[in-house]
Structure 1
Amino acid sequence: MDFEVYRPGELTGADRAAWTALQQQARAAGAPQLANPFLSPEFALAVGRCRGGVRMAVIREDGAPAAFLPFQRSPLGVGRAIGLGVSDAQGMVHRPGFLWDAQELLAGCGLSVLEFDHLVADQKPFDGGLSGRHPSPVIDVDQGFPAYLERLRAQSPKFTRTTLAKERKLGRDVGPVRYVHDERDPAALRTLMGWKSAQYRRTGRSDRFAHPWIVRLVRQLFHTRTDSFAGLLSVLYAGEQPIAAHFGLRSESVLACWFPAYDPEFAKYSPGLVLHLRMAEAAAAASTAYLDLGRGEKDYKDSLKTRELLVSEGWVMRPHPVALGHRARRAPVRALRNAVVARPELFEPADRLLKRVGRIRSGR
């Protein structure tokens, strides 16, 4: 393979344009998963401004870029997918039909191991190291919002009827319901992060916004806007009061859902569900193909989805002591977590315990 590895500031404008062009062509080429905004140069560059060790491998054919792989590298040569832990789509962005040798790629990047937790489909050279595949529900809106709503009524009539009724009741009780698909007020972003932090603490989960680099990343992406990419803040208002909000990333054809939250004072109106329906309506009007709700078992995702994609986790390795040590440390943690999530008899007691811890932590 003819390839070079760059630091974020070294990527040329021509290479960045070629990367974007591959994403724009992905849907027509039968690889819509490569159009996900988490696979964009904008996301990789934003992570590079917030985290060390970010690199971008550019693979060329006859001097022209054929594939791009962003990753993070430790001083010991341990590689992680870009934004591992917060990114919902990972992998190589490449031209149709392109194949690569995973071992050669690792060697050229100076890596002994490369770890993924949301590897998108059809990355065959990486398949040998995968340890599990997981559903990532999506909402298809390429046929328009009325078609999606009709499908939703057919598959979940009570859910749809109840959610729409709660939206009307919210308008009567609190104030006229107003939705802003692309809210540019930074104060609204701060409100969303405050709600999400409180939700993490309340449910006993690790608070992502307690990590300064994630806060910086979200703020950077909020201010990143190109023709093919943007950080998108969507807000549901009742009267002049924000009730629910979501921050995600959009490409030309995919809206990647990321951080949804709502004011728990208005929980009885299911504002998060109302927000997602409004997001789907606005995304359809913007000619978006689908909303990717992200990996993870949630009742609201099951109710809203039209189908599921698959994302994978695991690692590709070279025979190296560092790689073996990394896998020995990480594999048991991943296996335990996946076993708990997959088995209701384990997940439900663990979830109750986390919520109990969250109530104690919140002083409730």
Structure 2
Amino acid sequence: MLRVPATAGTGEDGRSEVEISIHRPESLSEALRRAWHRAADESPEYANPFLSPEFAAGVGRHRGGARVAVLHEDGEAVGFLPYERNSFGVGRAIGLGLSDCQALVHRPGVTWDTGRLLRACGLSVFEFDHLVGEQRPFTRFVTGTFASPVVDLKAGDGSYAQWLRGAYPGLAKTTLKKERRLGRDLGEMRFVFDERDPAMLRTLMEWKSAQYRRTSRMDRFARPWIVNVVDDLFRVREEHFTGVLSVLYAGDRPVAAHFGPRSRTVFAAWFTTYDPELRYYSPGLVMHLRMAEAAAREGVRVMDLGRGDKEYKDWLKTRELRVGEGFAVRPHPVATAHRLWRRPVRGLRNTVLAHPALREPADRLLKTVGALRTSAGTVQGAGRAAPRTR
């Protein structure tokens, strides 16, 4: 365990100073994990599984720079900031690019001085892109806020079809029609909310990698550490965190799959993919609806769809949260350089995503490039295969 005591300042109400200790997330003691869970349980905004010690530990086992700053008042652990640090002192929210929810998880009433916090962590800058709204000491560092759609779930007593007609009357008719057609064409429909077959997790990764390549997006599963984190989280089955693999089958054939974490009350939509040969049946949308119904039966109250403008999110959401992105900094040349490098890139991306007139042509271009790349790969593959068959 790495432990570095430091002073973070005094609260405005005159309470004793907050002290900070630094730990590896996978090495937190059981007492600190319980204190983290207690802090999350006391504030609904921290119920997201991405804010749990289990997620931080999963990333920490495969990322050397992962750390957790623990805030102490009167010897009691009252706050937890998971982050990653590189050798230059540049910090980022843990799992940045993967995590759909970020925060310093703390008990009600706890505050901190951000500059002193960064100094205790050895950071000149701390980058975030899904910061929850109730983080006042970070407010002045937020450069933009964005909608993060969620679905408020209500458990139903009847069948899936009854639940769907009650929850989404506008979508029910077409969705059920497509499901029936898929069942007729391939075999009886079957949905498994918590599939434990690791082979299906590999199938999901293969499908998702192919989808990233088709759409010219970064292939997350080409990065070994991400594959390892997902494998790791798949095996976690705790009260406050479970890695859930859900699969939709037609007969014996998997047609869509999703992997994401859940806490006791929040289920995070994370990696959803489907067999591209079956896209005309809208298997991805069917997958989300099946997950929402099953999660509600399991006691989940919110399905977090994550930040981003997607048509299916507009169809499914019941409300929106606001998440922030930005850079918390203290005076330091590295912080200035990092912000000058990263902020224009983010600004351009956000401008494109915020304007349909720009987003749709950009999306079409990416898909065209992906299709050409896939076609070229097929031709090259065929060319390489021919000599072996001679």
Task: Please confirm whether the aligned pair reaches a TM-score higher than 0.5, indicating the same fold.
Answer: yes
Count, aligned residues? 355
CA distance in 2, matches of 1:86, 1:13: 26
CA distance in 1, matches of 2:297, 2:76: 35
Which residue in 2 is equivalent to 1:193? 205
Q: How is 1:32-181 mapped onto 2 (pairs within 5 angstroms)?
A: 32-142=44-154, 144=156, 149-153=165-169, 157=170, 159-181=171-193
Which residue in 1 is equivalent to 2:311? 299
CA distance in 1, matches of 2:215, 2:165: 31
Which residue in 2 is equivalent to 1:360? 372
Report the residue type matching 1:13 in the other structure: E
Give the conservation status (yes or no) of the 8 Å contact 1:228–1:251: yes
1:271 equivalent in alignment to 2:279: no
Which residue in 2 is equivalent to 1:11? 28
Which residue in 2 is equivalent to 1:240? 252
Task: After superposition, give the CA deviation of every residue in 1:231-290 in whole Å (9 maximum; x if it has no partner).
Answer: 110000011110100000000010011000000111121111111111111111111111
CA distance in 1, matches of 2:297, 2:346: 39
Distance change in 2, residues 1:290/1:350 (3 Å):
same
Q: CA deviation at 1:100?
A: 1.5
CA distance in 2, matches of 1:290, 1:7: 30
CA distance in 2, matches of 1:297, 1:45: 30
Which has the higher mean CA deviation after the structures are superposed, 16-25 or 312-321? 16-25
Match of 1:333 among 345, 356, 374: 345
Which residue in 1 is equivalent to 2:384? none
Structure 1 residue runs without a partner (length 5+): 27-31
TM-score normalised per structure 1: 0.94
Give the conservation status (yes or no) of the 8 Å contact 1:24–1:252: no
1:22 equivalent in alignment to 2:34: no
Which residue in 1 is equivalent to 2:265? 253
Task: After superposition, give the CA deviation of every residue in 1:126-159 in whole Å (9 maximum; x if it has no partner).
Answer: 0101111111111111464867752421xxx1x3
Report the residue type matching 1:302 in the other structure: D
CA distance in 1, matches of 2:317, 2:150: 5
Report the residue type matching 2:31 in the other structure: A
Which residue in 1 is equivalent to 2:380? none
Give the conservation status (yes or no) of the 8 Å contact 2:353–2:359: yes
Match of 1:320 among 307, 327, 332: 332
Which residue in 2 is equivalent to 1:210? 222
Task: After superposition, give the CA deviation of every residue in 1:306-336 in whole Å (9 maximum; x if it has no partner).
Answer: 1111111001110111100110000100001
User: Helix, strand or coil for the counterpart of 1:50?
Assistant: coil
CA distance in 2, matches of 1:43, 1:235: 22
TM-score normalised per structure 2: 0.88
Give the conservation status (yes or no) of the 8 Å contact 2:26–2:58: no
CA distance in 1, matches of 2:51, 2:40: 8
CA distance in 1, matches of 2:156, 2:104: 30
- Aligned-pair identity in percent equals 59
Report the residue type matching 1:329 in the other structure: W
Q: CA deviation at 1:9?
A: 4.5
CA distance in 2, matches of 1:8, 1:20: 14
Task: After superposition, give the CA deviation of every residue in 1:82-139 in whole Å (9 maximum; x if it has no partner).
Answer: 0011111011111122222111111111111100011112111101011111111111
Q: CA deviation at 1:168?
A: 1.6
User: Helix, strand or coil for the counterpart of 1:341?
Assistant: helix
Give the conservation status (yes or no) of the 8 Å contact 1:197–1:209: yes
Match of 1:311 among 316, 320, 323: 323
Structure with the larger RCO, 1 or 2 (CA within 8 Å, 6+ apart): 1
CA distance in 2, matches of 1:149, 1:340: 35
CA distance in 2, matches of 1:311, 1:181: 28
User: Helix, strand or coil for the counterpart of 1:363?
Assistant: helix
Task: After superposition, give the CA deviation of every residue in 1:165-201 in whole Å (9 maximum; x if it has no partner).
Answer: 1112211221111000000001100111111111111
CA distance in 1, matches of 2:102, 2:141: 15
Q: CA deviation at 1:5?
A: 0.8
CA distance in 2, matches of 1:44, 1:10: 10
CA distance in 1, matches of 2:166, 2:26: 47
User: Helix, strand or coil for the counterpart of 2:99?
Assistant: coil
Which residue in 1 is equivalent to 2:9? none
User: Helix, strand or coil for the counterpart of 2:289?
Assistant: helix
Aligned-residue CA RMSD (Å)? 1.4
Give the conservation status (yes or no) of the 8 Å contact 1:140–1:148: no
Q: CA deviation at 1:302?
A: 0.7
CA distance in 1, matches of 2:153, 2:204: 25
